[in-house]
Chains A and B, each alone.
Chain A
């Protein structure tokens, strides 16, 4: 049976690339000197300081999640569903911070507000000395991570808004203004998307170590990190990452509780593309100002600091000469990674949505857990598993980087596919089945075309995450074939700020220009058709 074979293959692939490396790490962590032992777990969460660190991480992740959701969802609605001026520009603008390593954004803020920063030079150190300490500790971490992860709820809100049947909103419009429709109909309908984005942001914030470390806020990942960096103790490092599994499970449970009895049939009327734009009317200017201010603070300021630092053509010439090849590699790997992630996510999502196997829930949990795990654990797992003389054709080639992307980010494309499939009436596939089409034909000609929006969104998200990845790439890239973020990362140590800034600008331009231009052109074409 093609269906079982293909979905089975998907599971096997996920297992080989994602689960097996982690399993091998876990197995090794419970074997000490050839005996089964929990020694590596002995020190886990026993001391009060570890609980303090756990508490810090929880507070930081919760704050970042709450803040990004509270601002990102309305922002997504404003940019995706209203007639806000310049919304196309803003859509691209807000994605920028996701493409800059969070660490650099932290550095950039410090360059601006620090005791020796740009503002201090302008206003005199006395003024700034009072504000500089604010940048450190919890507030600084929250601000930086907020700006980095804001695009996630924003993008997902925009994606999910598009899947709502306009009729449902129109029905609400008859009895209420847009505000009421938003509160009572639209937002509840996109709740699965909001919860997904909240979970992703929480896990990403929880796993982030470079920013809290730089801004001096002690968080839980330091445990796993020091085991790796100071002791090279893979067992203890793996053990220290295991509490993440518990957190992932709790998050999935919370999500389940929220979504229970909420499996809506959001089927859009077939062929109806028209999404009503909300007219903002008199509030248009005010909201534009608000969005512009958020954009200014969250995106513009750090980027302008980078631009100021990279001032002068020489930095760019050097950046391109030092990193032109890695930029090209980055783009190629990200395109391949995103495409494979889309395919894998399509089948994984189909498997989950149709509950094709009895263990569908564990497939979903596994992908989310992999997304939550520290990249180092996955990376080491991939090395120990795939670095053998017989698999050199994978390990010593960029395929291992692609494997890393697939292991880490399948949760993203899989979950986006699941929501997309939920919008497609089962009768669509059943009709094809009755017409005599086998499974694969149904997938290619009926389900995939109907899910094209979700596939496209999944591809874009996969592209962005593949492109910005440093954690896994750092551990597995074949010597001499590093990607641009890795270049930026390794040049950061004592490299000139101009060069780093220029590299970041190159990265932003190269990655945002193609999709940004496509986006704007397609919007203009749509407009021309309507006009």
Chain B
């Protein structure tokens, strides 16, 4: 007589459960096996992975310290790294945060999540790009520039072109609710004061500016000739130029009395209470080195070195040759929060 089919079934279930427990146990063991190892550093990264990952790999090769990273991307509207850092405050998992702009670093400082560290390698980076208390240090910057279609006979030289009737309906700007565009507007508010800046915003709108979803898209519109110019990040402009698109890049407001170009450096932050503090400092030193800045300048992100005298590709001006907008990034960070209702209203939302 045939044995009951349930017998093999039972065996299958028991062995599956055993296998599950085994795999589960092994996984847990595997992942918890790297306790306070000095040869490991955990970094959360907001700079695009394509550019940041090679740098981190080089760091691994040169120091033998293993880097485990959490990458983030703003482009696809994810909100990973920053929110994690804030949520993990009471039991930090990260040692270092590599921010792609200093505003986030300011937010971390204000929320008490970062710790001060003054890297010896950052000595000759201009103080304007560093937190005075050492809570973050800037390096490899993007500049906010005007990307302009090459076909134009006349080129805008100032962000005031946005309000110039000459360019009515011919300009485009990325959604001011997100990213570096928000930061730049907030910077203008800190410099000009609320009245002048909000007048400027009103004038832009009256001049029928178009809104795009991202700086990259703005640059594409200009390259396609749909609009004449746009305020974008320098890497967006350089990229289009390298692809042979008919655009050129103008640093705005460079005149003697101009306000200059808004600079957005990367910022590196030491996390307070992170599990591997010593390796964290090595990584920060590495990121702030001249060599890293040179690599990021020649990579597709074309970022401007902040150490004086680092070699740059031909499309980029060295930082010393650019008239920069003098702002306090802490003020800008505070202003950004304050401005959100205004910007939403401005967007008609």
Instruction: Name the B residues within 8 Å of A445 (CB-CB).
Output: 6, 9-10
- Which A residues touch B203, using CB under 8 A? none
Pair B84/A493 contact, Cβ less than 8 Å: no
- Note all chain A residues with C-beta closer than 8 A to B177: 226, 230
**Which chain B residues in 177-216 approach chain A with CB under 8 Å?**
177-178, 182, 213
Q: Which A-chain residue is minimally distant from B67 (CB atoms)?
A: A480
Are A494 and B79 in touch, CB under 8 angstroms?
no
Complex contact B79–A228 (CB within 8 A): yes
Interchain CA distance A192-B348 in the complex, whole Å: 41
Q: Are B87 and A380 in contact (CB under 8 A)?
A: yes
Provide the residues of chain B in CB contact with A477, threshold 8 Å.
70
Report which A residues bind B (CB closer than 8 A).
Answer: 49, 53, 101, 103, 115-116, 209-210, 213-214, 216, 218, 225-226, 228-232, 234, 336, 339, 376, 379-380, 383-384, 387-389, 392-393, 395-399, 444-445, 449, 470, 474-482, 486, 489-496
Are A392 and B43 in contact (CB-based, < 8 A)?
no
Report whether A376 and B83 are in contact in the complex, using a CB–CB cutoff of 8 Å: yes
Q: Are B344 and A49 in contact, CB atoms less than 8 angstroms apart?
A: yes
Chain B residues whose C-beta falls within 8 Å of the C-beta of A339 in the assembled complex:
20
Interface hits, B20-48 → A, CB 8 Å:
20, 23-24, 27-28, 31-32, 42-44, 48
Contacts of A225 in B (CB 8 A): 77, 79
Task: Say if the beta carbon of B71 comes within 8 Å of chain A.
Answer: yes
CB-CB < 8 A to A480: which residues of B?
Answer: 42, 67-70
Chain A CB within 10 A, most for which of B31, B42, B44, B78: B78
Q: Within 8 Å of chain A (Cβ to Cβ): is B51?
A: yes
**Which residues of chain A have C-beta atoms less than 8 A from B224's C-beta?**
115-116
**B340 located at the interface, meaning its Cβ lies under 8 Å from any Cβ of chain A in the complex:** yes
State the CA gap A465–B78 with chains docked (Å). 18
Q: Which residues of A contact B77 (CB under 8 A)?
A: 209-210, 213, 225, 229
Which secondary structure characterizes the binding site on chain A? Answer: helix
Which interface residue of A225, A393, A399, A480 has the most chain B CB atoms within 10 A?
A480
CB closest chain-B residue, reference A380:
B87
Supposing A479-B68, A493-B75 touch, asked if A383 and B13 sit within 8 A by C-beta, the answer is: no
Note all chain A residues with C-beta closer than 8 A to B68: 478-481
Interface residue? B90 (CB, 8 A): yes
Interface assignment of B321: CB less than 8 Å from any CB of chain A = no
Residues in B lying within 8 Å of A, measured CB to CB:
6, 9-10, 13, 20, 23-24, 27-28, 31-32, 42-44, 48-51, 67-80, 82-84, 86-88, 90-91, 93-94, 107, 111, 177-178, 182, 213, 220, 224, 226, 235, 239, 300-301, 336-337, 340, 344, 348-349
> Helix, strand, loop or mixed for chain B's interface?
mixed
Contact partners of A213 in chain B: CB under 8 A: 77, 213
Contacts A489-B78, A492-B76; A232 near B107 (Cβ below 8 A): yes
Report chain A residues within 8 Å CB of B349: 49, 53, 218
CB <8 Å contact, B50 and A388: no
Contact A230-B178, Cβ < 8 Å, known A490-B72, A492-B76: yes
Given A218-B349, A494-B51; A115-B226 close (CB under 8 Å): yes
**Could you give 6 example pairs across A and B, Cβ below 8 Å?**
A49-B348, A376-B79, A383-B87, A399-B27, A486-B71, A490-B71
Chain A residue, CB-CB nearest to B100: A493
Q: Which residue from chain B places its CB closest to the CB of A232 in the assembled complex?
A: B86
Bound CA span A358–B178, Å: 47
From B9, B43, B72, B82, give the contact of A232 (CB < 8 A): B82
Q: A231 contacts which chain B residues (CB < 8 A)?
A: 337, 340
Asked whether A232 lies within 8 Å of B83 as measured between CB atoms, the reply is yes
Residues of B within 8 Å of A479, CB to CB, are: 42-44, 68-70, 93-94
Contact between A489 and B83 (Cβ–Cβ < 8 Å)? no
Given contacts A210-B76, A232-B83, A494-B301, contact A393 B32 (CB under 8 A): yes
Q: Which residues of B contact A383 (CB under 8 A)?
A: 84, 87-88
Name the residue on A nearest B73 (C-beta). A493
Q: A475-B80, A490-B73 are known contacts. Are A389 and B43 too (CB-CB below 8 A)? A: no
Q: In the assembly, what is the distance between CA of A393 and CA of B29, in Å?
A: 8
C-alpha gap A384/B91 in the complex (Å): 9
B107 nearest CB across to chain A (Å): 6
Rounded to whole angstroms, the CA-CA distance of A202 and B292 in the bound complex is 47
Q: Which residue of B lies closest to A120 (CB)?
A: B224
- List A contacts of B90 (CB < 8 A): 387-388
Cα–Cα, bound, A476→B336 (Å): 27
Q: How far is the CB of B139 from chain A (nearest CB, A)?
A: 18
Give the complex CA separation of A226 and B74 in angstroms: 12
- Is A493's CB under 8 angstroms from B31's CB? no
A103: chain B residues within 8 A (beta carbon) = 76
Evaluate whether A397 and B32 lie within 8 angstroms (CB atoms) in the complex, with A229-B178, A494-B51, A494-B301 already known: yes
The residue of chain B having its C-beta at the shortest distance from the C-beta of A495 within the complex is B50
> A291–B320 Cα gap in the complex (Å)?
63
Complex alpha-carbon distance, A187 and B344, angstroms: 46
Cα A22 to Cα B148 in complex, Å, equals 48
Complex CA distance for A285 and B2, rounded to whole angstroms: 48
User: Are the C-beta atoms of A387 and B74 separated by less than 8 Å?
Assistant: no
Q: What are the residues of chain B within 8 A of A384 when measuring CB–CB?
A: 87
Contact of A489 among B32, B73, B301, B344 (CB under 8 A): B73
Task: Please state if A396 and B49 are interface contacts (CB–CB under 8 Å).
Answer: no
Q: Bound complex: CA of A115 vs CA of B223, how far in Å? A: 11
Give every chain B residue within 8 A of A496 (Cβ-Cβ): 50
Interface centre among A101, A226, A389, A477 (most CB of B within 10 A): A226
- A195 and B113 CA atoms in complex are apart in Å by 46
Q: How far is the CB of A81 from chain B (nearest CB, A)?
A: 30
Hey, which chain B residues are within 8 Å of A387, CB to CB? 87-88, 90-91, 93
Distance between Cα atoms of A396 and B35 in the complex (Å): 11
> Does B178 lie within 8 Å of A495, measured CB to CB?
no
Which of the listed residues B28, B82, B83, B226 has the most CB atoms from chain A within 10 Å of its own CB? Answer: B83
B48, A493: Cβ atoms under 8 Å? yes
Residues of B within 8 A of A210 (CB): 76-77
What's the Cα separation between A387 and B87 when bound, in Å?
9
- A392, A395, A478, A493 interface centre (most CB from chain B within 10 Å): A493
Question: In whole angstroms, what is the CA distance A481 to B83 when docked?
Answer: 18
Question: Given contacts A493-B76, A495-B49, could you give 11 more A-B pairs where the C-beta distance is less than 8 Å?
Answer: A230-B337, A231-B340, A388-B90, A396-B93, A399-B24, A444-B10, A445-B6, A474-B72, A475-B83, A480-B69, A482-B71
CB-CB nearest in chain B for A43:
B341
Q: Are B83 and A216 in contact (CB under 8 A)?
A: no
Closest to B223 in A: A116
Tell me the complex Cα distance, A388–B76, Å: 30
Contact A392/B32 with A232-B86, A339-B20 known, Cβ cut-off 8 Å: yes
- Complex CA gap A126/B13 in Å reads 64
Complex contact B213–A216 (CB within 8 A): yes
Query: In the complex, what residue of chain A is closest to B226 when comparing beta carbons?
Result: A115
Q: How far is the CA of A395 from the CA of B337 in the complex (A)?
A: 31
- What residues of A have a CB within 8 angstroms of the CB of B88 in the complex? 383, 387
A478 to B42, CA, bound (A): 10
The smallest beta-carbon distance between B348 and chain A, in angstroms, is: 7
Give CA–CA (A155, B94) in the complex, Å. Answer: 41
Residues in A neighbouring B75, C-beta threshold 8 A? 492-494
Max chain B Cβ within 10 angstroms of own Cβ: one of A116, A481, A490: A490
CA distance in complex: A470, B76 (Å): 11
Cα of A280 to Cα of B59 in the assembled complex, Å: 64
A210 to B178, CA, bound (A): 14
Flag if A494 contacts B78 (CB, 8 Å).
no
Residues of B within 8 A of A376 (CB): 79, 83
User: Which chain A residue shows the least CB distance to B70?
Assistant: A479
B88, closest chain A residue (CB): A387
A228–B107 CA distance with the chains assembled, in angstroms = 13
* A489 and B13 within 8 A (CB): no
Name the B residues within 8 Å of A336 (CB-CB). 20, 23-24
B-chain residues with CB within 8 Å of residue A115 when the two chains form the complex: 224, 226
Contact across chains for A444 and B13 when beta carbons are under 8 A apart: yes
Q: Is the CB of B340 within 8 A of A230?
A: yes
